[in-house]
């Protein structure tokens, strides 16, 4: 819920950059102290090799293992999906400022609404989809995206 306090402080011309840098510094110190006593030999003892291959274990994990293909496909899909999602979230503010001539606070709140809607939708659909079944849920969502529904929202 960072967009809400950020929008409130930004609309009052308060710089929140220093607070974000301070929180990042605290995170760095906590992360470093959590793994300070860990060593490579300790990690290798707890995670033995899965094959008898010699050489770099990175190649074994990223290329040789059967699950590597699925991992790479999921990685590229999520890279594209998250990029579009974040780009759209940032574009909403620009659209509201330039086209709709909204105030900076209102534009920021529209972005907050976007992210809140995404979060609530994911939580709710997590419970609804198993009850409907995947095929019916996909059909209903696809039908809601049809061009005919867009005419209802035209001026």
Q: Is the pTM of this model over 0.95?
A: no
DSSP for 3-25 reads: HHHHHHHHHTT---HHHHHHHHH
> With 90 as the cut, is the pLDDT of residue 76 above it?
yes
H or E element in which residue 67 lies: none
Q: For 110-153, how does the pLDDT look when each residue is reduced to its tens digit (9 = 90+)?
A: 989 999 999 999 999 999 999 999 999 888 888 877 666 545 54
Return the domain boundaries, the chain.
Answer: 1-48, 68-155
Q: Give the per-residue pLDDT at 77.
A: 95
Q: For 6-23, how does the pLDDT look when each residue is reduced to its tens digit (9 = 90+)?
A: 666 666 666 667 777 888
């Amino acid at each position: 819920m960072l967009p809400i306090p950020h929008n409130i402080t930004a609309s009052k011309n308060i710089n929140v950059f220093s607070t974000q840098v301070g929180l990042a510094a605290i995170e760095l110190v906590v992360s470093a102290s959590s793994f300070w006593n860990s060593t490579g030999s300790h990690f290798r003892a707890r995670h033995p090799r899965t094959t008898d291959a010699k050489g770099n274990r990175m190649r074994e994990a990223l290329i040789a293992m059967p699950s590597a293909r699925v991992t790479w496909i999921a990685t590229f899909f999520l890279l594209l999906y998250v990029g579009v999602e974040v780009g759209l979230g940032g574009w909403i503010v620009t659209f509201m400022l330039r086209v709709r001539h909204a105030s900076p606070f209102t534009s920021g709140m529209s972005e907050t609404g976007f992210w809140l809607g995404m979060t609530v939708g994911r939580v709710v659909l997590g419970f609804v989809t198993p009850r409907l079944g995947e095929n019916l849920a996909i059909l209903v969502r696809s039908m809601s995206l049809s061009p005919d529904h867009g005419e209802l929202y035209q001026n």
